[in-house]
Each structure stands twice: as structure tokens, then as C-alpha cells.
Amino acid sequence: MEKLEEYLNNIIYRQEQLAKTMLILVVSMVVVAALFLVIILTSYDDHSFVGSLAVSISGFIVSVLLVGVFVIIRIHSCMNGCDLIKVRLSQGGLIAAEKALSSTCCIKDFPIEKIKTLIPSGK
């Protein structure tokens, strides 16, 4: 069970690092979007090319921000799934963990064969 807990904790750690990276990306994109908003507001009266370019780039930035927020939400739900599997394993064994796997959004991170090899026999 210790190996399995270590395996799940490793997955949680990697997902926390990914969440931090995505948060940095989202914050930097917000700063860039604010910069382009300033460009749009200052050049809107001119109907210049710079204003049109800033509008199109800011639309792209907003779409990237929305995708980033979605990815952060998915990462956190995967971390919650890891915690759920750890609880199910400690309380109910492998069958309860397999049932928890079916409700987890990131099944590719939890190969059931790997979990079966990490669980000591008799559980």
C-alpha cells in the first residue's frame, strides 16, 4: 500500500506543478490582455491598423485564457480523483478503488494494472 500511496502522491505532485505552471501562464496572459486593451483604447479613434491588430490579438488571448482556466479546473479535479482513489483503497480495497476509477476524469493516469501490482496480495 505504501508503494501505491507513493505512486498516487507522485501523480498529485506532478499535477500540482502543472497547475502552478498553468496559473503563471493565465496570469501572464491577463497582463498581456490588459496591455492590448490599453492599445485598443488609445488607438480606437484612429481606426488604425494597430487597433485592428490589437482587437484580433486580444480575442486570441481571451480564448487562450478560457482554455487555461479549463485546464486548471481539470487538473484540480484529477488531483481530487487521486485523493478519492487513495481513500477508497485504504477503506475498501481494490474493488472500491476500481469503482472510484470509473468516476475519475483522468483515467489514463491511473492504469488499473499498475494499481493491481502495487497492492499487496490478499487485499
Task: List, for residues 16-58, the tens digit of each pLDDT value.
Answer: 888 888 888 888 888 887 887 777 777 666 667 766 777 778 7
CA–CA separation, 69 vs 37, rounded Å?
A: 20
Flag whether 34 is in a domain.
yes
Flag whether 15 is in a domain.
yes
Question: What are 59's three cell numbers?
Answer: 480575442
**The domain containing residue 42 runs over which residues?**
2-117
CA–CA separation, 92 vs 37, rounded Å?
A: 54
Flag whether 68 is in a domain.
yes
pLDDT at position 101 over 70? no
The percent of residues in the chain predicted with pLDDT above 70, rounded, is 63
Flag whether 7 is in a domain.
yes
From the CB of residue 82, how many other CB atoms can be counted at a distance below 10 Å? 22
41 burial level (CB within 10 Å; 0-12, 13-18, 19+):
exposed
Cβ atoms of 72 and 22 closer than 8 Å: yes
Flag whether 123 is in a domain.
no
Flag whether 83 is in a domain.
yes
Flag whether 58 is in a domain.
yes
Q: pLDDT averaged over the chain?
A: 73
Mean pLDDT of the region 107-113: 58
pLDDT at site 76: 76
Lowest mean pLDDT among 14-23, 60-69, 75-84, 107-116: 107-116
pLDDT at site 110: 57
The total domain count for the chain is 1
Flag whether 31 is in a domain.
yes
